[in-house]
Amino acid sequence: MSSHLKGRSFLAMFDFSSEEIAATLKTAREIKEKPGEFNTVLQGKTLAMIFQKPSLRTRVSFETGMTQLGGHAIYLSPTDISLGKRETTEDIAIVLSRYVDVIMARVFGHDIVVDLAKHATVPVINGLSDFEHPCQIMADFQTIIERKGRLDGLKCCYIGDGNNVAHSLMFGAARVGMNMTVITPKGYEPLEAVTKQASDVGSSTGSTITIANDLSAVEGADVLYTDVWASMGQEDEAAERKHVFAAYRIDAETMKRAKSDATILHCLPAHYGDEIDYDTSRLPNSAIFDQAENRLHAQKALLVHLAG
């Protein structure tokens, strides 16, 4: 597929313009509707998948996606590549570029994906870092469009920790003109620099970025989104966070404040009874499994545009 994105890396939501996000989402929709038309697009090409963190959705969706596009994926576990320890990130990027056509990395520090992209001569995709999770947000946007028909002008409320998912949602919302409210306990807000940057960009697209500490901010929401209270690497804070975040969940009471047809999203894995209760997760409003499926389609679209 001809694309002006070919050869580019995707490390953060701001790497793509609003038009580029829309084009990628259009391809994701086409791939989902007619997958057979894309099954040889990446024939003979290889994806290297670097993992510092364990994964269900990221590994299976990327590996399956590459196979369905006619290519091949290689899983590189933390014991296969000790980034920055057994070998420098620079050397790993240079060597992999001699072997493969695209690199995906799921890591802790965001500086790692930045360093990989700096030294690689093939596209690098951020499969997750502690700062951003852009692949997740592309799948989220595809899901919202399926449920609501658009992104611009909608009110999306994220409830929970101001983490990497919150950062990417804010950046992405700013790009596409969606209003974004992040609701967290005091002291757990997204980084101030992220809020400022997203707000600045949003001012040109009609997007309003808001930070709140009270669940009343979900009033009139079109989309309710949540994530685990303690991410990987924060296990020692889990007990404390469970206490601090106890009121910040999507449940029947929270749903009463949002629009009656508000779409429920969760990037999974879910801790039922904490950030969302099981019954709410199974309501007709819930799109959490459509959202998980769309990781496959959105990432196939990324692979097609960047490496096709």
* pTM for the whole structure: 0.97
- Residues 290 and 308: their CA atoms lie apart, in Å, by 25
Conformation bin of residue 88: beta by default, left when phi > 0, alpha when psi is -120 to 50: beta
Catalytic residue among 136, 142, 291, 299: 136
Catalytic residue among 140, 161, 227, 274: 227
Is 183 within 8 Å of 218 (Cβ atoms)? yes
Look up 249 and say whether it is catalytic.
no
Catalytic residue among 133, 175, 241, 266: 133
Look up 267 and say whether it is catalytic.
yes
Q: Which residues contact 251 (CB under 8 A, 6 or more apart)?
A: 276, 277, 280
Catalytic residue among 106, 175, 249, 305: 106
pLDDT of residue 2: 52
Looking at the domain assignment, is residue 21 inside a domain?
Answer: yes
Looking at the domain assignment, is residue 1 inside a domain?
Answer: no
Catalytic residue among 135, 156, 157, 267: 267
Whether residues 146 and 120 fall in one domain: no
Whether residues 146 and 83 fall in one domain: no
Look up 295 and say whether it is catalytic.
yes
Whether residues 177 and 82 fall in one domain: no
Domain count, the chain: 2
pLDDT of residue 184: 98
Domain that holds residue 266: 136-291
Look up 135 and say whether it is catalytic.
no
Catalytic residue among 57, 167, 295, 297: 295
Look up 227 and say whether it is catalytic.
yes
Residues of the chain with pLDDT under 70: 1-2, 232
Q: For residue 50, which of 99, 98, 116 has the smallest C-alpha distance?
A: 116
Q: Which residues contact 241 (CB under 8 A, 6 or more apart)?
A: 161, 229, 230, 234
Whether residues 244 and 302 fall in one domain: no
Look up 72 and say whether it is catalytic.
no
pLDDT tens per residue, range 75-122? 999 888 878 788 999 999 999 999 999 999 999 999 999 999 999 999
Any idea what the CATH number is for the domain that residue 170 is in?
Answer: 3.40.50.1370
Residue 132: exposure state from Cβ atoms within 10 A (0-12, 13-18, ≥19):
buried
Whether residues 230 and 210 fall in one domain: yes
Looking at the domain assignment, is residue 102 inside a domain?
Answer: yes
Whether residues 84 and 113 fall in one domain: yes
Whether residues 268 and 299 fall in one domain: no
Q: How many CB atoms lie within 10 A of CB 88?
A: 13
